[in-house]
Structure 1
């Protein structure tokens, strides 16, 4: 256990020391700082309920003689509870947040490395790119690609190219840029001697050392003047250029990168001089070796992207805003390939993945599950002590911008309580790396642990694809709740930016006026698993046991986006060829070696659709639905038929329907006329024997 240091911030928070079970300081960061220094000498780790003065406490800890038992942990109770309109009723929430801060930290994850030598390419018009190149050339290895002419410096202190970008790929330390040289003058070769400027009769060449082709009348005097240098050619065949860089400063108004969330090392600040200056400051710090977490874990064995040359699930590829995920087929088997250097940690791929092949790992899912269980358990236990029976609301938000938004709202509600609404006493904020990194098994799991609802706070910086994916997942999660007789308990709450306090304030006011909700079930005891389907099955089993309405025998239809469901089969069209069995990546479809039976286990199906695309007779269609746990675990026969036995040895060789179909298609062919037609009714061995006998 850790020692908790709680402060009421100069009496501005009505904290109950007895209810919290810890002493409450009045000015821990000032007059009572001795209490903090004394705690440093203890043998316990420290949790400090103040993020405002985290830098001060950290500095004091660094100056202490005794090394820390563990890194300081900070938790914000002021903006999210103590400074809200319901501060006096926020005791259970504060207790829950303190318990969360007391939990062990998540296990470290692997890291992704970058190495930058400071090779910077500045792209843009010469008038903008050259001045920045002059400033940066002393500290970085600068090159310039002028997309529009601009006056060039006479000194060749750094490479200057011209042309239009045709391709730009990569990440910090590993950018590749292709461009097309469009002007007859190649500035890379040009010595800027000015001979071409002097001899041009049309004045088509100026100090940009590029030819204005609208003025040029093709006298070619410039070519003659530059003959010994060779920088000018009107008939240049090879116009394509390529080079590698560590950093990119893209000053074009329309950068046109292929992804909406650009990679590390790439800056496109637009035309605003202040934004350009901020980008330049960051560029100068991006020389050396860098690391970031590897946010994901990919399990190819359960991936439903493709099988037998057919593409099934493309969800992760479609939602990725960085272009980090691509399709990969080897030997007909499809999987996806993730470039960890391009991955920015949004986690949307894991949210939309139906099989759990793509898993978010920063932190791990089991760790997040433990934190959710702690928050719900402590809140409900503390609420029960003061005769509160309603459940907490889980407010999910991104750690960076979402935290800024919530903190800003808390400060505004404290200073201007009549104008801004803070968080209700029952709304517990829970920060995650990115709002898109959780899906329906996480949200439904939170409800199973005792939360009354789950609210996803969008803070404006998300890619549109993320919002669409979250809305789709929320629609599915609420449809599952409805199937069990519960009302919708998962919703989005959206702000335009971290400064957009009015929208969130209004939403919090409506939430407070409505009040807390009852939990939909008794708290579950299961733990979150690294396997998405395992967690989902545990959640569904728990909800089914406490459902308000039992599921009908045929199940309940779910939206098309569902990752659970069945298959509908047209038995008249199906020939039991079993192509679907070999194509299923999850083992949901099964054949029988002894008789022609196509079986199905609904629990295994991820609704990827590969079987539908593989079926040569188009006999299968997806049937998204929610069945009981017991029915979903059963192996059921989708189709079965009478076996056809070899007319020679009696061994089963297929279905009667399949043989009849083959006879109908091939019987009219000359190669199968007469006795040869009977060979189609034989197994392979007997067919060979019959052919040999007939030849003898």
Structure 2
């Protein structure tokens, strides 16, 4: 059974564009260069005849136990070992074998000057690359698969220079993945079906050659550090508004990435629904979902089709569940946002959709400046557009949610403000007007967890929830405060009472801690410096 959607696909269908040998690439393109060398992998000698077939057209290196017992043609190099590790992409695959306790690269077997392989035909019962979306240039099938004829055509076509779009942009300054060695947001790390995205500790790294533009990471990213370049937020919103302006009142907006079947098209007209094609589907980010309702849609339906990778499907389901909780907190019908399989879409449009009433008209609300540039601001603006005056009822969200509060244990928090220094969105701030205060803005919090992980007193915890008023008003509240301790020498307030008490408690029992040391700690840094200079 074939395990790659690339088989017999035109080059353009793979997202690739042929490039002349000396042609220049645009700055937003990613280059692949293939010399046509095929690495055939197998579990036994049955890989030999396949290598022989492919070798009629291009150079082949085949690795499989027993395959070296006979010759398979002048263009085939046969090695009777089993490859155990494989990584890479079109034009740059690296393979390794295990020798005892060591793993050895086998690039020396390649005729290519770079000691890499251009294409891989994996015949192993357990394919070496297990990502749901396979790298370009990698194909997995059984040795006796009837699709080998079409595979040969595709392998021949994937020789030369190619380019594809660089689908994403990454703003490291907006990333909440890590700060100062403290681990935070993990939202994007687990959603990439191509395994193109990895943590580097404080930041994340995306291999543009492996990325195939599913846009799942940009949907998952709560700050907007990751964005989908081919389809910007403002342009998608413009298409949405244009569509709504050309349709009767109170339509249902059906957002899909693949072609809708005939029953679905028939049901669209019957249900007063309009279709908006967005490919890939996650490019229609959740910051635009409420905006569709605010602009006049009665309901929003995201269409789940077979082309969606599993991780993308699961992410969309979580986001829809979160948005339904938002609607519930607003006292509205959570059924207004749907994630419908394509094979049940027509039935839902002609039956259940009729139970969803039109949205009552609301007074227009001025858009927040720069909403289209910043994802969280766009999300908040959509909420304001939909229900600016609503008080709402707070609703609890699952642990993986990206909106919510931060709670503080006032008995253990010393107001050291380490959390303020770690917070990437400035949801946490410090204030020192008349007393030390920890201030929290819920609308800016993305529940990254950096403050929790970095708190030396373990005094903070996340509270995923929907609190409409706190979000739409973008207000700040004091979540902890303390009294200042004044310097015993000059009278200047310089430290919170709790922090000083904590420091003194930590020093108790230390042989060097005496009354003199205690007296010094009760003075401000400036007075301590003066005292040292006077000695």
Q: Which range, TM-score by smaller chain? A: 0.7 to 0.9
Shift of 1:567: 1.5
Asked whether 1:135 is paired with 2:53, we answer: yes
1:575 equivalent in alignment to 2:414: yes
| Pairing of 1:407-556 with structure 2 (within 5 A) | 407=261, 409=263, 424-488=270-334, 489-495=336-342, 503-511=344-352, 514=354, 517-519=357-359, 521=361, 529-545=372-388, 547=390, 550-551=391-392, 555-556=394-395
1:7-55 CA distance string (max 9 Å, x none): xxxxxxxxxxxxxxxxxxxxxxxxxxxxxxxxxxxxxxxxxxxxxxxxx
**1:253 touches 1:271 (CA, 8 Å); kept in 2?**
no
Residue 164 of structure 1 contacts residue 181 of structure 1 at CA under 8 Å; is this kept in 2? no
> What is the CA distance between 1:477 and its match in structure 2?
0.6
Within the alignment, does 1:341 sit opposite 2:220 as a pair?
Answer: no
Q: Is the 8 A contact 2:268 2:274 kept in 1?
A: no
Mapped to 2, the partners of 1:525 and 1:139 lie a distance apart of 64
Please give the alpha-carbon distance, in whole angstroms, between the structure 2 residues aligned to 1:251 and 1:441.
43
**3-state SS of 2:189 partner:** helix
1:390-438 deviation per Cα after TM superposition (whole angstroms, max 9, x unaligned): x22222222xxx21xx245569x7xxxxxxx786452322222223333
2:41–2:82 contact (8 Å) kept in structure 1: no
Mapped to 1, the partners of 2:403 and 2:264 lie a distance apart of 40
2:104 aligned with 1:240: yes
2:244 equivalent in structure 1: 376
Give the superposition deviation at 1:181. Answer: 5.4
Structure 2: stretches of 5+ with no match in the other structure: 1-25, 108-115
Give 1:664's match in structure 2, choosing from 498, 505, 513.
505
Give the superposition deviation at 1:303. Answer: 0.9
Contact 1:646 1:683 survives alignment (8 Å): yes
Distance in 1, matches of 2:403 and 2:31, equals: 38
User: SS of the counterpart of 2:195?
Assistant: coil
Q: If the length of structure 2 is used for normalisation, what is the TM-score?
A: 0.85
Q: 2:426 aligns with which of 580, 587, 594?
A: 587
Q: Does 1:355 align with 2:190?
A: no
Say whether 1:394 aligns with 2:244. Answer: no
* CA shift for structure 1 position 692: 6.8
Task: Give the distance between the partners of 2:452 and 2:502, measured in 1 at CA.
Answer: 21
SS in 1 for 2:146: helix
Partners of 2:452 and 2:337 in 1: CA distance = 32
List per-residue Cα deviations over 1:159-186 (Å, max 9, x = no partner). 222323232111111111112358xxxx
Asked if 1:284 is matched to 2:156, the reply is yes
Q: Does 1:655 align with 2:496?
A: yes
CA gap of 1:471–1:450, structure 2 versus 1, over 3 A, is same
Is the contact made by 1:163 and 1:180 (CA closer than 8 Å) also made in structure 2?
Answer: no
Paired position in structure 1 for 2:145: 273
Correspondence 1:605 to 2:473: no
Q: Does the alignment pair 1:639 with 2:485? A: no
User: Aligned equivalents of 2:79 and 2:46: distance in 1?
Assistant: 14
CA distance 1:340–1:157, change in 2 (3 Å): closer
Conserved? CA contact 2:251–2:272, under 8 Å: yes
CA RMSD of aligned residues (A): 2.9
> C-alpha offsets along residues 427-464 of structure 1, whole Å, 9 cap, x if unaligned?
32222222333332122121122111111221223222
Q: Go from structure 1 to structure 2 and tell me whether the alpha carbon gap of 1:546 and 1:661 turns closer, same or farther (over 3 Å shift).
A: closer
Classify 1:155/1:362 alpha carbon distance in 2 versus 1 (closer, same or farther; 3 Å): closer
Rounded Cα–Cα distance in structure 1 between residues aligned with 2:448 and 2:205: 18
For residues 103 and 90 of structure 2, the distance between their equivalents in structure 1, rounded to whole angstroms, comes to: 27
User: Whole-Å Cα distance in 1 between the matches of residues 425 and 291 of structure 2?
Assistant: 23
How far the C-alpha of 1:578 sits from its partner, in A, is 0.7
CA separation in 1, counterparts of 2:255 and 2:159?
A: 35
**Among residues 158, 171, 178, which one is paired with 2:89 in the alignment?**
171
Residue 34 of structure 2, aligned match among 96, 109, 116? 116
1:562 positional shift: 3.0
2:23 aligns with none
CA deviation after TM superposition for structure 1 residue 325, in Å: 0.9
Distance (whole Å) between structure 1 residues aligned to residue 189 and residue 412 of structure 2? 33
Q: Distance in 2 between matches of 1:509 and 1:271?
A: 47
Name the SS for the 1:478 alignment partner: helix
Question: 468-477 vs 160-169, which deviates more?
Answer: 160-169
Task: Quote the Cα distance in structure 2 between the aligned partners of 1:631 and 1:494.
Answer: 32
Distance 1:276 1:469 in 2: 35
Aligned to 1:673: 514
Structure 1 runs not aligned, ≥5 long: 1-107, 183-236, 381-388, 414-420, 496-500
Secondary structure of residue in 2 paired with 1:351: helix
Residue 310 of structure 1 corresponds to which residue in structure 2? 182
Counterpart residue number, 1:157 = 75
Q: Is the 8 A contact 1:651 1:683 kept in 2?
A: yes
Change (3 A) 1:628 1:337: same
Relative to structure 1, the CA distance from residue 440 to residue 176 in structure 2 (aligned partners, 3 Å threshold; closer, same or farther) is same
State whether residues 114 and 173 of structure 1, in contact with CA within 8 Å, keep that contact through their aligned partners in structure 2.
Answer: yes
Give how far 1:537 is off. 1.6
Shift of 1:264: 0.7
Task: Please name the residue that 2:455 is paired with.
Answer: 615
Compared with structure 1, are the counterparts of its residues 668 and 427 closer, same or farther at alpha carbon in structure 2 (3 Å cutoff)? same
Question: Alignment partner of 2:223: what SS?
Answer: coil
Which position in structure 2 is the counterpart of 1:320?
Answer: 192
In 2, Cα distance between the equivalents of 1:276 and 1:544? 57
Secondary structure at 2:412's aligned position in 1?
A: coil
Q: Note the alpha carbon deviations across 1:516-559, whole angstroms, 9 max, x for none.
A: 75245458885971421121121111122365xx325xx44444
Specify the SS of the correspondent of 2:64: strand
368-377 or 672-681, which deviates more? 672-681
Distance of 2:102 and 2:180 partners within structure 1: 42
SS at match of 1:671: coil
Contact map agreement 1:544 1:628 (CA 8 A) in 2: no
Checking the alignment, whether the CA contact within 8 Å between 1:423 and 1:508 is kept in structure 2 is no
